[in-house]
Chains A and B, each alone.
Chain A
Amino acid sequence: MTHQTLEDRLRDHYRNAADKLTLRDVSFDDLILPAPQMAHPQVPRGRVMLGVAAAMVVAIGAGVVFVSRSRPVSVTPVTAVQGTVAETQPSDSAQPAVTEPPVPDSGVTVTTMDANAPEHRPETVPYVLDLPGSTNPTDGASYVDPSTSAVGRTFVSPDAQLTRVFVVLTYPLDAAQPPQPFTGQVIDVPTGEAHFSSTRVEGQSMLEWKLADHELVVSSLGMSAADTVAAAIEFEQTQTVTGLRLDGIWGNDRTETVRQYFAADTGTQTVVPETTDARGIRSSDVPSLLGSLEMTWRPPIQTFPGEAAAERTTVLGLPAWKWRIARGDPKAPTTVMWQIPGTERWMQLEAPADRFDAALAALRPVAMTATNPAVGFLSIPSMDGGAFITDGVAGQQLDELSHSDGVHDISTALPQDAGATASLVFVSSNQFGRLETLVAGTEIDWTPAGTQPAITFLVTSVHSYDINTDPLTTSKAGLVIVTDTENPGSGRQIVVTATRSDAPPSTTG
């Protein structure tokens, strides 16, 4: 009888597991040309979706400008019209402030549009929370017009809850002939910094807007040269809008209730009440391009039924979500989660409810310098699957540490966290210049200097302290990270020290 090695058994296991997979029959076109689940029943039939793009504001953002421009047309000029779709997720504990006058539930304020003039439609879009048990918010997405020389509108999320934007571009099938693929290269955006370009991919136009620190990509098939993307999207960067990514829409992304604003082919522009969660705008303009903007306000944390929804807060001056899963336990931890500016990484701080505020208050943006970079470095997985390399923070040789080391003694260095589940706080000044957090359950790779193999640790216990007030700062020892290892019996720990700068930046929030 042949004795299988562990490696062979693994291979067999994987092969057998993989064989159990059955795939749905999906073509590539199904992926990139999804038919959105339009909630608007009055949409003229025969429209074919020309292009779809979804924009995800990965930061908790505040402002979006949606600008529509018509370019010179070779045959017949056509006016591009955008439709808009607002989509929400519940956030009943954190209803945003309203900056626009309250809007009756039955309608949307819209001005009549002159087909020959640049679109100019101030309006406020109400939205309704869709999940059972939630209450109607008074919040809305405010649309603010640009200067009179421009077209388009600015979307403002008054409470900086804008988390996702979809852009849907569709095309009427009853047009005389399919539009030519977009061949333009550059569309100037009024504010100047945006750059628009296109790349043909398999008969499609890959359209990109590039702004400083932003990149928007719209994929579409056969866009017209005239109005193709007669829309430029620009993000009005604020301190809280730091990133945007466009993805395609398909499948589950379209299953949520949407509100759509369509340009239709008859009548003047009116507001057509649809269902409780959808309204339509009709226009006499027969668009060659129908643009829809779909916005989603979605807490990144979906709590479970019966639990309070995540609520808005700020951490280090950054928008954040805070939630607590009580389950009848008064000591249940409170968690706050925020996004690292300029990244797609979310950081999380978790602490017992009774000490959460203190833990939160202990976070400070701190400039750090390495004390001993030759020792090694920590590779800390980011929330999006990448990794932080904390070059600026020196790790100490693992096995050289001991609990009796006065500097690193948990009981004295971390008094407020003794004996409790808490947060892990680390500093990575090179990337972020501020304190960030991780939580227990995170794996950390530790790569010693030299030829020693890397070791993976599972963070099972985390402690933090205020670097600016802790007595250890007198010795310029900045931050301590303490973890158990994946071999709890070994007693090994990671302790990271760093030098506090003399003039750490102040907290902004």
Chain B
Amino acid sequence: METSTSSATDVNAPRDAAALFRTHRLPMTRLAFILTGRSAIADEIVQEAFLKVHQNWAKLANPIGYLRISVVNGCHSYHRRRVIEERHASPDVITGGWPADDARDEMTNALATLPERQRTALALRYYCDLVDGDIATALGARPATVRSLIRRGLAALRKEIEE
């Protein structure tokens, strides 16, 4: 789990991309894994994100924030591709992701019913413990939108679980 706020100007901020990789690869991959359900995809997304951080290191005021945005965007891109693929694919073509419904736990099934952005917002809040502002930055949304996403996500989850 990562801290809620971070900046390159922090005392404990990583001094280079390699240091950031050592300290944040695992939590970021876990976040991507939570958002995608696929470890290989998560690993790939995070590696791509780190490369972007590395390439832009000199220009980044907040490498961790940039990394997080890259990871979230990478997960979003993955889901977008899946939506397109699954829309056009026969069921036997669709593979991967979380296990089949009957093998998933109640919370996983309930989360699967939520729109992607709500799921992402919930993960950033309740896994990463980020504050509204950081989640908003990661999602490219406004804090008010984040609050709405989380509120609606929780409401939908509650309803789904109670049913």
Q: Are these two chains actual partners, yes or no?
A: yes
The residue that A447 contacts in the complex, of B88, B107, B144, B154, with Cβ under 8 A, is B144
Q: Contact: A21 with B58, CB < 8 Å?
A: no
Q: Nearest residue in B to A327 (C-beta to C-beta)?
A: B90
Cα distance A384–B83 in the bound complex, in angstroms: 14
The residue that B52 contacts in the complex, of A206, A247, A453, with Cβ under 8 A, is A247
Binary A-proximity of B2-42 (CB < 8 A = 1, otherwise 0): 00000000000000111001100110011101100001001
- The smallest C-beta distance from A219 to any residue of chain B, in angstroms, reads 6
Q: Do A252 and B118 contact each other (CB < 8 Å), given the known contacts A11-B127, A454-B144?
A: no
Q: Contact: A18 with B17, CB < 8 Å?
A: no
Provide the residues of chain B in CB contact with A92, threshold 8 Å: none
The residue that A18 contacts in the complex, of B116, B117, B122, B127, with Cβ under 8 A, is B127
Cα distance A251–B48 in the bound complex, in angstroms: 10
Interface residue stretch chosen among A22-30, A36-44, A262-270: A22-30
The answer to whether the Cβ of A284 comes within 8 Å of any Cβ in the partner chain is no
- The smallest C-beta distance from A509 to any residue of chain B, in angstroms, reads 24
Binary B-proximity of A3-32 (CB < 8 A = 1, otherwise 0): 000110111011101101111101011011
Q: Contact: A31 with B58, CB < 8 Å?
A: no
Sort chain B's interface into a size bin.
35 or more
Q: Contact: B34 with A219, CB < 8 Å?
A: no
Provide the residues of chain A in CB contact with B84, threshold 8 Å: 301
The residue that B51 contacts in the complex, of A199, A247, A453, with Cβ under 8 A, is A247
Provide the residues of chain B in CB contact with A445, threshold 8 Å: 117, 141, 145, 148
Provide the residues of chain A in CB contact with B151, threshold 8 Å: 453
Residues 242 to 258 of chain A near chain B (Cβ within 8 Å): 246-248, 250-252
Cα distance A73–B27 in the bound complex, in angstroms: 46
The residue that B93 contacts in the complex, of A21, A304, A385, A441, with Cβ under 8 A, is A304
The residue that B42 contacts in the complex, of A21, A28, A447, with Cβ under 8 A, is A21
Provide the residues of chain A in CB contact with B76, threshold 8 Å: 381, 385
The residue that B141 contacts in the complex, of A20, A219, A387, A453, with Cβ under 8 A, is A387
Cα distance A302–B139 in the bound complex, in angstroms: 27
Cα distance A455–B118 in the bound complex, in angstroms: 11
The residue that A325 contacts in the complex, of B88, B144, B148, with Cβ under 8 A, is B88
The answer to whether the Cβ of A458 comes within 8 Å of any Cβ in the partner chain is yes
- The smallest C-beta distance from B19 to any residue of chain A, in angstroms, reads 9
Q: Contact: B161 with A6, CB < 8 Å?
A: yes
Provide the residues of chain B in CB contact with A100, threshold 8 Å: none
Q: Contact: B152 with A456, CB < 8 Å?
A: yes
Q: Do A379 and B116 contact each other (CB < 8 Å), given the known contacts A28-B21, A251-B47?
A: no
Q: Do A441 and B83 contact each other (CB < 8 Å), given the known contacts A10-B126, A304-B88?
A: yes
- The smallest C-beta distance from B58 to any residue of chain A, in angstroms, reads 5
Q: Contact: B145 with A454, CB < 8 Å?
A: yes
Q: Contact: A219 with B145, CB < 8 Å?
A: no
- The smallest C-beta distance from A58 to any residue of chain B, in angstroms, reads 12
Cα distance A456–B26 in the bound complex, in angstroms: 31
Binary A-proximity of B103-132 (CB < 8 A = 1, otherwise 0): 001011001000111100011001100000
Count of A-B contacts with CB under 8 A? 155
Provide the residues of chain B in CB contact with A199, threshold 8 Å: 58
Cα distance A243–B24 in the bound complex, in angstroms: 30
Residues 66 to 111 of chain B near chain A (Cβ within 8 Å): 72-74, 76-77, 80, 83-85, 87-90, 93, 105, 107-108, 111
Provide the residues of chain B in CB contact with A17, threshold 8 Å: 33-34, 108
Q: Contact: A455 with B148, CB < 8 Å?
A: yes
Sort chain A's interface into a size bin.
35 or more
The answer to whether the Cβ of A391 comes within 8 Å of any Cβ in the partner chain is no
Cα distance A509–B42 in the bound complex, in angstroms: 40
Q: Nearest residue in B to A247 (C-beta to C-beta)?
A: B51
Q: Do A6 and B157 contact each other (CB < 8 Å), given the known contacts A443-B117, A453-B148?
A: yes
- The smallest C-beta distance from B72 to any residue of chain A, in angstroms, reads 7
The residue that A387 contacts in the complex, of B51, B58, B140, with Cβ under 8 A, is B140
Cα distance A15–B144 in the bound complex, in angstroms: 26
Cα distance A173–B93 in the bound complex, in angstroms: 45
The answer to whether the Cβ of A486 comes within 8 Å of any Cβ in the partner chain is yes
The residue that A453 contacts in the complex, of B55, B123, B147, B158, with Cβ under 8 A, is B147
Q: Contact: B54 with A31, CB < 8 Å?
A: yes
Provide the residues of chain B in CB contact with A307, threshold 8 Å: 88
- The smallest C-beta distance from A121 to any residue of chain B, in angstroms, reads 30
Cα distance A23–B28 in the bound complex, in angstroms: 11
Q: Contact: A456 with B55, CB < 8 Å?
A: no
The residue that B122 contacts in the complex, of A10, A20, A21, A383, with Cβ under 8 A, is A10
The answer to whether the Cβ of A202 comes within 8 Å of any Cβ in the partner chain is yes
Q: Nearest residue in A to B57 (C-beta to C-beta)?
A: A201
The residue that A32 contacts in the complex, of B34, B54, B58, with Cβ under 8 A, is B54
Binary A-proximity of B42-67 (CB < 8 A = 1, otherwise 0): 11100110111011111000000000
Cα distance A386–B77 in the bound complex, in angstroms: 10
- The smallest C-beta distance from A300 to any residue of chain B, in angstroms, reads 10
Q: Nearest residue in A to B46 (C-beta to C-beta)?
A: A23
The answer to whether the Cβ of A422 comes within 8 Å of any Cβ in the partner chain is no
Provide the residues of chain B in CB contact with A453, threshold 8 Å: 144, 147-148, 151
Q: Which residues of A contact B (CB under 8 A)?
A: 6-7, 9-11, 13-15, 17-18, 20-24, 26, 28-29, 31-32, 199, 201-202, 206, 217, 219, 246-248, 250-252, 301, 303-304, 307, 325, 327, 379, 381, 383-387, 441, 443, 445, 447, 453-456, 458, 486
Closest 10 CB pairs of A and B: A385-B73, A14-B127, A18-B30, A325-B88, A454-B145, A385-B76, A28-B21, A28-B18, A13-B107, A10-B126
Q: Which residues of B contact A (CB under 8 A)?
A: 1, 16-18, 21-22, 25-26, 29-31, 33-34, 39, 42-44, 47-48, 50-52, 54-58, 72-74, 76-77, 80, 83-85, 87-90, 93, 105, 107-108, 111, 115-118, 122-123, 126-127, 140-142, 144-145, 147-149, 151-152, 154, 157-158, 161
Beyond the given pairs A17-B108, A31-B54, A304-B90, 9 more chain A to chain B contacts, judged by CB atoms under 8 angstroms and listed by A's residue number, are A10-B122, A14-B126, A17-B34, A18-B127, A22-B39, A23-B29, A201-B17, A202-B16, A456-B148
